Structures are given as structure tokens and as C-alpha cells.
Amino acid sequence: MRRAVGAFALAVFVLGVQGLCGQGIRGEIQAGGSSLELRPLLRDSLPESQVAGDGLRRRLPDGTVASCVPDEFCRWYRSGPGEMFSILSQDLRMTAWGGAAGLSARVHLRGRYGSDEFWPATAQRLEAVQAYVDYDRGDFRGRAGRIGRSDGLGYYNFDGASLLWRGFSPMWFEAYAGYSLARGVNAPRTGALLEEAEDLPPDDRGFLIGAQAGGRVGRVAGTIAYQRDLRTDRLAIYSERVALDLRALVGNWAIDASGEYDWASLTVNDARLTATAFLSPAIEVAAAARHYEPFFESWTIWGAFSPVGFNEAQASARWRSETTGLRIEASGAYRNYEDTGAQLIAEPVREDGWRVVAGLGWDKGGWQGGATYRADVGPGAARFGGDLSGGYTFGPGRFVTLRASRTQTFGELRLNEQFVSGLGFDAAWRLADFGLTGGAALYRLDGRERPADEDWTQARVYGGVTLRFGREPGVAR
């Protein structure tokens, strides 16, 4: 955090310089919040001898399904009383130019002041998502501070520096190094957030080194990235990974291939091959094959349980009419999970799954409407349902939308079978650099396998305000 504050101080210095040099500032402030009603899940139990029947799954006298262990307990989940929770967040994004050609400073700060402690990460009242100085001139681009990256290995940030060189056309090369942060947390692994969530959190910071190269030759483009994250005491590594992304355009076809390899465990975490055909300006079809295995950093115990992956085949088709504004989309996928190698006492676990999505939409003259149906069946649960929506756009950043949904889930280990029906609206209105957003919804939850829980209606409300300020040098307001 000290390094992020240092980068922010440097950014403020650049802001002062631009004030003297008359360059420019551009940014926005966002503040928003939501309130929603929740019923926490509470675990309950009875001695196994007091529950009639036999087997690992039994029903209580009121019909509730319980999981039983012989000679021990039968356990189940029930809902607690409903409570209203509020989640508030504040974001400042700002870029400043000044002092020298090609020099800029960028800051993204996020606050969580006013949120209920129940919500995850609210203890981190203020965090620096990004705060770095950028110098981009000629064949080089250098950055220093809290830097955010997006590449074949995902989205992450770190406290350090990076250097990009593009002097060897048609290729470019980049190297970076610094102290790593826990992904999605924007804080070191030794911080309080992981200590509160993990029984055995890391006891040493990580140091990240990486390199990426990319280029384009004709109608083929690609990137390759390497990254090593090791403890600062150099006793072990947190991760060592490689990612490859390629795209080739062949006639009316686009061929995409990508892969992620975990060098520490010698595992291919994600490999995909997608072929997309543009049959006409209105018709697009695609087919894909994927192999996936979960990735865990070396410090966590979850990787020791040998999580299994799956192989998946996908297909999709899209059609759109520019004259009528009508569009039709459909996709489907089938996946097969690898053998767990575990001996099960209960009934065998399903080893495959499938997914189907179909949608119909319309967009013409500011009016929009759509309907979507989804079905997803897997080893642990299944979900069926769809939604309807319709609205009108008054202009850039100004719209109102009504939506309705209906979903059935069953097989869930905790929630069991239930129906969820929702009705809500969303609206936004923008005037110059000032914008408002808001919406509300009601969801009716009807249970099936926990008769002791009464059906109930959940309320959700959200709203936000955005203020944009400043201008970019050389760009009209």
C-alpha cells in the first residue's frame, strides 16, 4: 500500500506540473450503492438415530431433505430471518498530462465507505486499483507504480514497473517486475483480507517477474506471455505460468486458439480452439472445443486435492437483420468431466453436463425488446429459466428498461429445488458530464424441498451518480 501511495503522490506531482504547463486532466467520479434483502442460511442437525429411515439422504417429518452420516448426525440448511443490507462504493478515475511530451499519470481509487460489514471486502475502506506514471514516446513505453494488466493470464495488478519496446516491426516486447498482489483483492497476500478468509494464509509477499511478446504477420496475430511469482525470501514460488493466444483470418473464417499452462504443476489449465464463419453480413456461425482444469496457486491447499477438469464442445449461430432490427441467437455445449478416482458410498455422481441458450431480440428506432431461454445441467445442480426485457433509448446514456425472469433450480447441495420469479426496471439519464443510474426489482422465491421455510419476496434497489470532468489535450470537449 505504501508503494501505491507513493505512486499516487507522484501522480499528484504530475497534476501540479500540468497546472503550470496547461496540459489537461480527464476523469470521472462515481458513487453508488444498493440495498437488498437476504435470508442467511443456517445449519441445523439432529442425531442420526432420531431421523426415521435409512440411507444418506432422508426426509424430516416436515419434508425437509437432510444428509445423514451413520451413527452421527443428519444435517440440513434452513433460512434465517430476512435482513436488509446496504453496499456502497466510490470510484475516482483520473488521467493527467503535463510536464513533458508523452508523460501522463493515471489513478483509480476505490472506496467502500458506508457498506455493511456483512459484505465481503468492506473492511478495505480504500484501495488503489491503479496508480502509476506513464511515459510513452517513440519506440518505448514505461510505467511505474501500481499497474493493472490484462493478458492471456487474466486480469491482475502489481506494484512495480514495466517497459514496452516496439522498435522491431511488426513485433513488440514487454517486460515487467514488482511486488505481486492477490488477484481480485488489490492487496498483498499477507494482508488482513486473506488472513480473515484462510486458515493457512501466506506469510511472505510475492515478487512478480514477467515478459510478453506479440506481433502480426499478414492476417495472423498472436501473443505469448510468461510469468513467475515467487516468495520474496525465494524459498518457494506462488505460480509459474505461460499463456499463448493466436488469431488467423482465412477468407470469411476467423480461427482463434489460446492456452494456459501451469509450469509449476505441469498442467494445461485451459486450451481452446474456436472457428467462426461469417457466412454473410447477417449470419455468423461458430464451433469450439475446450479443455479446462482448475488452477490454484501453490500456497493454497486446494490444489492438493487433484481437482478434475472437463472437455467441452460448443456451437453457436447468430442472425441479424439490419432493416428490421430483428436478431436470433442460439448456442449449445456438451462437457464431459474427467474421472475423480474417488470411491463413493452414495449413488454415482453424474460425469457430464450440457448447456443450451436461445434468444430473440429486436432493436429499432430506439425501442428494444428481447427474450432468452437458458438450460444448464451438470453433476451438482441444474437450472432452467428465461427472461424478458423491453425498453426505450432516448439518446446517448438515457434509457429505461423493464425486465422479468423466471428460473427453476434443483439438485443444489444447499438450496435444493426452488423457483425464482423476478420483475424490475433499470433507468439511466445523462446530461453532458453528469449521469444518474438506478433501478429496483422484486424476486419471489418459492421453495420445494425445505417446507419449514416460508416462501418470500426479496427486494433489491440500486442507484448511482457519475460526474465527468476535465478534457484531454488536443481533443474537443
Spatial contact of 253 and 277, defined as CB atoms under 8 Å apart: yes
pLDDT band at 278 (very low <50, low <70, confident <90, very high): very high
pLDDT band at 109 (very low <50, low <70, confident <90, very high): very high
pLDDT band at 98 (very low <50, low <70, confident <90, very high): confident
DSSP line for 211-230: EEEEEEETTEEEEEEEEEEE
Question: Taking 70 as the threshold, does the pLDDT of residue 36 lie above it?
Answer: yes
What are the backbone angles phi and psi of residue 219, rounded to the nearest 5°? -105, 25
Question: Taking 70 as the threshold, does the pLDDT of residue 21 lie above it?
Answer: no
**Residue bearing the bigger pLDDT, 20 or 275:** 275
CA 210, CA 160: separation in Å to the nearest integer? 11
Q: What percent of the chain has pLDDT over 90?
A: 62
pLDDT band at 346 (very low <50, low <70, confident <90, very high): low
Task: Using alpha carbons, list the distances in angstroms from residue 48 to 62, 344, 346.
Answer: 16, 20, 17
**Residue bearing the bigger pLDDT, 381 or 390:** 390
- Which strands sit side by side in the sheet containing 65-68, from one edge to the other? 41-47, 73-79, 65-68, 57-59
Question: Taking 70 as the threshold, does the pLDDT of residue 320 lie above it?
Answer: yes
Q: Which residues contact 383 (CB under 8 A, 6 or more apart)?
A: 374, 375, 376, 407, 408, 409
The gap between the terminal CA atoms of the chain, to the nearest Å, is 35
Q: For 168-208, how does the pLDDT look when each residue is reduced to its tens digit (9 = 90+)?
A: 989 999 999 999 998 888 888 887 778 777 778 888 999 99
- What pLDDT is attached to residue 133? 95
Spatial contact of 176 and 162, defined as CB atoms under 8 Å apart: yes
